[in-house]
Structure formats: C-alpha cells, structure tokens
Amino acid sequence: MTITPQQWADAGRTRSQLRTELASQRLVRLRRGAYLATPLPTDWQLHQLKLRATLPSLGPSTYFAYTSAAVAHGLPLLARRLGEVVVVRTGGGHGCVNPTLHARIAQLGDTETSIVDGLPVTSLARTVADLVRTLPYDEAVMIADAGLRRGLDRDDLLAATHKGRGCRMARRALLFADGRSESPGESLSRIRMEAAGLPAPELQQVILDRLGNFLARTDFCWEDYGIIGEFDGAVKYGRLLKPGETAADVIKAEKRREQALIDAGWIVIRWTWDDLWNHGFESRLQRAIDGRRDLLSMGIDWRLP
C-alpha cells in the first residue's frame, strides 16, 4: 500500500516514526512524498512501482531512460541497478541527483521515444544503445543479447554507439552478442566460456537420434565432442510449463530427456547461477571436452551404435 506524508500524519504518527520505519525498511521511499509499506515486492516490481509513483511529476519533455527504461521494456538487469529512477530531460535545464531520482539532460530523435504501458520511455533501440555504453561488459552483453532477440539490428546499434564515451565497450559487447541466448544466465555463461578459452558452442541446437527423431533442444552444444551444456535458472522450469502441467511434471520430463541423450552417447553438463558467480562449471566442461578429444585422437567415435 502506498502512503503519503499526509496519510501518515492523519494516522497520528510523527516524522520521527516515519524516519524509523524507513531506516528499518518497513517502509520504502518510492519518491519524495510516496512510501510503500511491507510486505515488499521484488526489486523489479518495486522499481515498476517507483516509475508509476514518479510519472505524475514528470515534465512534458521528460522520459524514463537507461535502467528505468530497461525495466519498462523488460530488459534484463541485475538487482543492484534498480535503486534509483533514471530520466532524461530533453527540454533544456540541468540534470540532478537525489535519493530517489537521477535526471540527465539529453537530446532524443523523433524515433527514440515511445510509450510502454502508459510510461514515456526511450525507445528499445535507444535504451539498449545507452546501456551497452554505460554498463560493465557482462551486463552489456545481457542487454545486447536481449535487444537482438527482440529484433533489433546489430549494425544499427553499432552505428548508434560508434563514437563517444563507452563506444569501445559497446562495440565489444555488440559484436559478441547473440540473440539466440534466451536468458541472462545463458548470456553470462557464454562470457564465462569465452574467458576460460573454451570452444564456442552452438546455441539452441536441435538434437536428433540416429533415426532422425527429436531428442532435445539444448542451451549449448559442442556436437563434435558430443557434449551438451544446460543452464538451470530459477525460472527455467516455469517457462517450460504447459497448460495443466506442474513443475514436478516438467522436472520428470527433463530427466527423461536427459537420460535419452545420455543413452545416445551425449555428455550433459548442467550449472546454476551459483556456478556462474563461483566459476564452478568451466573446469567440468573443459575436462569433458579434453576427454572427448582424446577419444577422437584415438579414432574412437563417441556416438553409441
């Protein structure tokens, strides 16, 4: 429930009590003059609420931008990027930063703004271009992958970011980006693989058995070595749910699918977010690749008869 200072006072509570509630995080400031009571939503939901709370105070030439536009467009962001609301003002004046709002000055072209769910925002292309120039490489790749997956053109993005601050980072991220990555975890997995010197995998590969029957569609595949990589994110099984299915049904189906792949001679290696942060999967992949290379060097085909 959103609370205003007047509602707080009308309930007979003091400013000192308000400060105490904010410090204990039993209340969260959405913007100046608007507070949210617990239970608190997720960081993503909270930022969306902040956008709605800020909307009435926006000027006619002000747009949500950067990370705030990314939330509106549904682009992936790490939670630590979701603290402040970011806007750009195109009508002149100057920027400002306060505890709840970061306002920048910018010029936007006619095609660089849009309305998303009633929110004035920078366009998807402009938002991606802004973020790949300003975010660290790992996060820039997540954004670039998502932008390409949503249909943006790589050459257009390269042209939009070819000069100015952050242009080299933007170019590096955009050239590495691949719209076939279907989640931030898959994007980060590719970055970790490249850094570890692993061979580049094929993405979203369809695997057939010897008779041409469908076995699986995989996150990562090294077909020459008979190795499949699967990133198991928190929302993966939910995304696979069909009408009437439960998470348990999906997990059982995944186990059957994996056993069919193993029976056909494939090695299946899975990892999670913890493995990405702790670099816990690259060595497993490397050992599997080395083992299959040894077999191939001896003229032994990994494919089972």
Whole-model pTM: value is 0.82
- Alpha carbons 197 and 192: distance in angstroms, whole number: 9
The separation between CA 302 and the C-alpha centre of its own chain, rounded to angstroms, equals 35
Q: Quick check: helix, strand or coil at residue 293?
A: helix
Sheet holding 62-64, edge to edge: 96-97, 101-105, 85-89, 62-64, 119-122, 113-116
The per-residue DSSP string of 99-139 comes to SSEEEEE----TTSEEEETTEEEE-HHHHHHHHHHHS-HHH
Q: Say which residues have a Cβ less than 8 Å from residue 218's Cβ, sequence separation at least 6.
A: 204, 205, 207, 228, 229, 230
Amino acid at 76: P
pLDDT (tens place) for every residue of the chain, 305 residues total: 577 777 766 666 777 777 777 777 677 777 777 776 666 677 888 888 889 889 988 888 999 999 999 999 999 998 788 888 999 998 776 667 777 788 898 999 989 999 999 999 999 999 999 999 999 999 999 999 999 999 999 999 999 999 999 999 999 999 999 999 999 999 999 999 999 999 999 999 999 988 888 999 999 999 999 999 999 875 554 455 456 656 566 677 778 888 889 988 999 999 999 999 888 899 999 999 999 999 999 988 887 66
Instruction: Determine contact, residues 226/292, Cβ cutoff 8 Å.
Output: yes
Strands 96-97 and 101-105: antiparallel
Domain ranges of the chain: 1-40, 43-176, 184-297
Q: Which fold has domain 184-297?
A: Endonuclease; Chain A (3.40.960)
* b/e 43-82 (16+ beta carbons within 10 angstroms → b): beebbbbbbbbbeeebeeebbbbbbbbbbbbebbbeeebb
Using DSSP's 3-state secondary structure scheme, residue 42 falls into coil
- Cβ-in-10-Å burial (0-12, 13-18, 19+) of 177 comes to buried
pLDDT tens sequence across 265-292: 999 999 999 999 888 899 999 999 999 9
pLDDT at 82: 86
